[in-house]
Structure 1
């Protein structure tokens, strides 16, 4: 999932970014409204989290621009607290509205709800149960190891995108892991044996991608 975070407070951006990256989001940052719009047009954005009060162009203006162009979800952040402000935010096309200050964990849950990233992700006969940390094929537990689960979870959250070995190492094994990228290949091979060879597509010299069907 590609996430646009726009706020003129650098510390706020970094805190929110850390929470979302941990859950597998690709995050793009902007510190004013114009930069946010530029990022939106340069990348396929699934969710935009916009601060209302930003330099150059407000979050409301950016929201309206984004909503004219497609179905990207928009969540507005603001210190404003009265009913009229909330009405204006939703009238501009925003899908949700969160008042500052807020707990980043709550923001993450609201974002996941907007994107319909519930406790389970299903792709044909494949189900990734985030709560149970299990992977099912045709309703049967494939007995995925912890690393295999984290691997398929990250690929599922970014379905259709090519994920490099380096990205998988950083997200699944951690930034402090210094092993070889071949470790990823080994785990992908074992995972394919459990969920189906056609589920994970290899892009030579680039990385891997989860596909919807065994085709």
Structure 2
């Protein structure tokens, strides 16, 4: 998972970077609002943690632009303590609001819960919507079919693991399906044509796996 952390206090960035990277996140750091947006448009971000008061563009302005562009979870950090400020943050589209000072470990736990609530995942230039059963590549709907989506979903849920053709047939087409393994190969081929061949690796005489960390 990729997290964008934007705060004009450098020591805060370093502390949060250490906590999130230890938890397995890939972090992108920004010292002001403009830098945060530049990273957002350059990288695939699953969560944005934004300080409210930043140079050039505030966390609120960045939040609004992010929400206009993609459905990415946003957590606002602020030293402001008024109830109205929290309302303003939520009205701007923020999904969570945390007051300073805070415990970095608590922030990490809140961030994890926030990501778990989303029905979409972003992997580099691909977005998978598990509720709508749609896939976007470079923000373009690839027009995936139901069976293709089911294949992608099960492979993604077991990413890095090899799933045999028999397993895929049973899980997607059902135990009573009378077709053969070539059905899986045909659908994998069509899926690769739509999302790119590099996501799905063929393991000869074994099956297929979803590979997130390809070159």
State the TM-score, normalized to the length of structure 2. 0.58
How far, CA to CA, are the matches of 1:197 and 1:111 in structure 2?
Answer: 35
Classify 1:127/1:67 alpha carbon distance in 2 versus 1 (closer, same or farther; 3 Å). Answer: closer
The secondary structure found in structure 2 opposite 1:56 is coil
The partner residue of 1:198 within 186, 208, 213 is 208
Matched with 1:106 is 106
Matched with 1:40 is 40
How far, CA to CA, are the matches of 2:116 and 2:210 in structure 1?
Answer: 22
The secondary structure found in structure 2 opposite 1:81 is coil
How far, CA to CA, are the matches of 2:28 and 2:39 in structure 1?
Answer: 7
Residue pairs, 1:70-89, within 5 angstroms = 70-89=70-89
| 1:26 Cα deviation from its structure 2 partner | 1.0
Classify 1:203/1:57 alpha carbon distance in 2 versus 1 (closer, same or farther; 3 Å). Answer: closer
Matched with 1:92 is 92
TM-superposition CA deviations, 1:50-90 (whole Å, max 9, x none) = 00000111000000000000101000000000100000010
| 1:198 Cα deviation from its structure 2 partner | 2.9
How far, CA to CA, are the matches of 1:3 and 1:42 in structure 2?
Answer: 13
How far, CA to CA, are the matches of 2:14 and 2:62 in structure 1?
Answer: 21
The secondary structure found in structure 2 opposite 1:67 is helix
Where does structure 1 lack aligned partners over 5 or more consecutive residues?
A: 118-122, 129-134, 139-161, 163-191, 207-215
Structure (1 or 2) with the larger CA radius of gyration: 2
C-alpha root-mean-square deviation of aligned residues, in Å? Answer: 3.5
Where does structure 2 lack aligned partners over 5 or more consecutive residues?
A: 118-152, 168-197
How far, CA to CA, are the matches of 2:208 and 2:19 in structure 1?
Answer: 31
Q: How many residues align?
A: 146
TM-superposition CA deviations, 1:120-173 (whole Å, max 9, x none) = xxx749989xxxxxx9x99xxxxxxxxxxxxxxxxxxxxxxx9xxxxxxxxxxx
Matched with 2:55 is 55
Classify 1:16/1:71 alpha carbon distance in 2 versus 1 (closer, same or farther; 3 Å). Answer: same
Matched with 2:4 is 4
Residue pairs, 1:1-215, within 5 angstroms = 1-116=1-116, 124=154, 198-199=208-209, 201=211, 206=215
How far, CA to CA, are the matches of 2:213 and 2:104 in structure 1?
Answer: 35
How far, CA to CA, are the matches of 1:7 and 1:201 in structure 2?
Answer: 33
